[in-house]
Structure 1
Amino acid sequence: MRRTVIALGIGLGLLGSTVVTAPAHAANVVSTPLATTTVAREVANFWLADGAANLKNATPYAVQTVVQGQRSSNSVVPDGKPGSVTPLASPVSAPGNLPTTSGKVFFVGADGQPHWCTGTAVHAQYRNLVATAGHCVLDVERSDTTFDKWVFVPGYSEGTTPWGLYVGKQVTAHSDFDLFRDYDRDFAFVNVYNGVVLSSDGVLTNNGRLGDNVGAQGFSWNQPIGSSRSVFGYPAGSNPDGTNSYTGETLKKSAGPTFAMTLSDLPADQPIGVDSPFPGTGSLGSSWLLRYSNDVGAGYLNGITISVSDTDGDNRYDTGVSPYFDSQTAAIYKAAGAVWSGSILI
């Protein structure tokens, strides 16, 4: 599917009821349709039919799960003033003070098989936006291609869809990742249609907007590193030495400080790391939340896991890796937040 590249000079202003304060910054925005409403109904049935068999049988996406990285004493240089968008409170609470906004993104990979990464709902005007790693939407193994049958399931746990299934309508990403595989830009924002559930008689019914059902995380950029981030994802597998095994069936949390990194096997000028024991399998797309509150299950999205690393060579993963969120990231987010989706049902 061919993409449209739009050069935008965006000054982030008022978004809904939240004030955004950031300088104007040019960004190359790539927008790609994922599914029309007719196709979206077919996609929903693909995942929900037969007791959601394809959701349950999906395996974690295993491309670029581990990188060779080193922690660096260098500073990360913001490209402007810091800014943020406030979270949208969730109308429901999840067990264990985990965010209701986190879930799995599912898609059919280049091998024709169902796979998943982690994603999170993020605040936007139409309450329909999901953030994940760019290579969990754009297929880095095939040129000019997005994954088929892309959906988001918030609160996924052991095969259940507690707040419905949301089919992707459009993905917005940075052209430097799309065209040049610049991993400083390995993030993506997907607008999803209203959620659907499958009734006992096999009929799809509307379940409302994503943000209305589970809330949404805030968003922040050009933030200083060093302070703690809470990481939420669905890690699967174990360390190379066999310890610390995860099933990938339930949402997990880790937390630790952030720091600058250098990577030896991915092109990225300013990656950052966070203390995290998660393996990369299943963790791709995990949200890094600044100032996360257990009381309300919300914070400010300030990173996305694109891989993990064992920085001290002990055969145990110790670091999650993310692009640094700067003004260009904010511009991509702003462009995605202006896209309306609506329902796939007539």
Structure 2
Amino acid sequence: MRLARTAAVAAAALAVLTMSGCIILAPPLPTRQPQQPPSQTPRPSGEPQIEVRPVEPDAPITTTDETAADTGELYAGSQGETVDGYFPDAALDLVLEPTRGTARVAPGIAMPAHDGGDELLAGTPHTADASLLLTTVGRLVLEADDAEYTCSGTVINSESGLVVVTAAHCVFDDETRDYYDRITFEPGYERGDAPFGTWEAERWWVPDQYLESNDRWLDGADDDGWMGFDFGFVRFAPQGETTLEDVVGGQGVSFTAETNGVVIAGYPGNDAFDAEVLRHCAEDELDYGAGGDANYGADCEMGDGASGSGFVSNLDPQTGAGHITAVYSNGGETGAYGPPLGATAYNGLRTLDD
């Protein structure tokens, strides 16, 4: 859920927050000309393609593959379709490892279970040699017309070293039904300090499934299918010859639909939160299909502004390295919900990361 940054638009944003949940800060910014949406053209045929095998949601992944990072099952081994008739992104037998540290595969989670949104590693400086969770997770600022919002995102392992994963509704504005005019990212942000600089978005991608079902939902149709594809990627411009990963490292990504519990870290800004401090929750048991949506569900109270936060599994508490399996889409006091990343997400990453 995004969080609006201006008091003037807070009332108007409430209807959107029930669906997408970002936050509003201050003061209004000048209107900018919209950027062109990213190209969704596949890579040139002459470039090498990675061979991957999609795994259907009802296929038991763990009995057929040898991926070292696999542990446990969620919707793998059971019917992926929810009671409302929605399907998740099809699982893919592929894991991208973090670019610093090693993800630890072990039963349970690497941090104590906690649902209250406490500050992550309070008192630990956000420096390049700190935990990957402290350096790779940052606050996104989204600009549209005269409004400004915040979401959360995480730098991931990518060929360009410039890609952040977040929620689709943190890239596509539900009010204007267009991409945001401008997106900036501050990894490691804390109370006005951006220790790794402010990065400017140059391209972005969201799934067609999200755009189509989101439009139906906004037009009053009974279709919450957008929730199963509420993920996206943003590519940021390098600073000189330096990439985001050069500065902060990159978190791993799992497209396998498997998890052994997650840590969710981001910048919630509603109720007791202020979108100024990196906060987290940790849950060792996830539900799938809660409320009829094709989402993971965790017992976490994060809320507006936490949208786009990674669900990090296989976390090593010493290095903060793990595998993002989903991103925060919606939630609040009742929990945190996010769509698992699969074949669609991976293909979108490849499209953007040339």
Report if TM-score (shorter chain) is over 0.5: yes
Corresponding residue number in structure 1 for 2:340: 324
Corresponding residue number in structure 2 for 1:183: 227
Corresponding residue number in structure 2 for 1:23: 53
Corresponding residue number in structure 1 for 2:184: 151
What pairs up with 1:96-135 in 2 under 5 angstroms? 98-110=133-145, 112-135=146-169
Q: Report the structure, 1 or 2, having the larger strand content.
A: 1
Larger relative contact order, structure 1 or 2 (CA cutoff 8 Å, min sep 6): 2
Post-superposition offset of 1:324: 2.0
Identity score, percent: 21
Q: Structure 1: which 5+ runs fail to align? A: 26-71, 196-205, 239-244, 310-316, 339-346
Q: SS where residue 250 of structure 2 aligns?
A: coil
CA distance 1:3–1:163, shift in 2 (3 Å): closer
Distance 1:167 1:102 in 2: 16
Aligned residue among 271, 276, 284 for 1:249 = 276
CA distance 1:5–1:192, shift in 2 (3 Å): closer
Corresponding residue number in structure 1 for 2:96: 85
Post-superposition offset of 1:81: 4.5
CA distance 1:5–1:215, shift in 2 (3 Å): closer
Note if contact 1:21-1:84 (Cα within 8 Å) is conserved in structure 2. Answer: no
Q: SS where residue 255 of structure 1 aligns?
A: strand
Post-superposition offset of 1:299: 0.9
- The aligned amino acid for 2:95 is S
What pairs up with 1:1-346 in 2 under 5 angstroms? 3=37, 6=40, 22-23=52-53, 75=78, 77=80, 79-89=90-100, 92-94=128-130, 98-110=133-145, 112-143=146-177, 145-181=178-214, 182-195=226-239, 206=240, 208-224=242-258, 227-238=260-271, 245-256=272-283, 257-263=285-291, 268=293, 270-278=294-302, 280-309=303-332, 317-338=333-354
Post-superposition offset of 1:101: 0.0
Q: SS where residue 280 of structure 2 aligns?
A: strand
Residue by residue over 1:245-268, the C-alpha shift from the partner in whole angstroms, topping out at 9 and shown as x without a partner, is 22321111211122112336xxx4
Q: SS where residue 288 of structure 1 aligns?
A: strand
Q: Structure 2: which 5+ runs fail to align? A: 1-33, 56-74, 81-88, 102-126, 215-225
- The aligned amino acid for 1:336 is L
- The aligned amino acid for 1:88 is T
Post-superposition offset of 1:318: 4.0
Note if contact 2:53-2:93 (Cα within 8 Å) is conserved in structure 1. Answer: no
CA distance 1:215–1:254, shift in 2 (3 Å): same
Q: SS where residue 334 of structure 1 aligns?
A: helix
- The aligned amino acid for 1:231 is I
Note if contact 2:95-2:256 (Cα within 8 Å) is conserved in structure 1. Answer: no
Distance 1:4 1:189 in 2: 10
Corresponding residue number in structure 2 for 1:314: none
Q: SS where residue 289 of structure 1 aligns?
A: strand
Note if contact 2:40-2:205 (Cα within 8 Å) is conserved in structure 1. Answer: no
CA distance 1:289–1:21, shift in 2 (3 Å): farther
Distance 1:14 1:214 in 2: 28
Runs of 4+ in structure 1 displaced over 6 angstroms?
none
Distance 2:241 2:195 in 1: 11
CA distance 1:172–1:4, shift in 2 (3 Å): closer
CA distance 1:9–1:320, shift in 2 (3 Å): farther
CA distance 1:14–1:83, shift in 2 (3 Å): farther
Note if contact 2:184-2:201 (Cα within 8 Å) is conserved in structure 1. Answer: yes
Post-superposition offset of 1:82: 2.8
Post-superposition offset of 1:332: 1.3
- The aligned amino acid for 1:216 is G
RMSD: 3.1
Distance 1:4 1:108 in 2: 17
Distance 2:342 2:229 in 1: 10
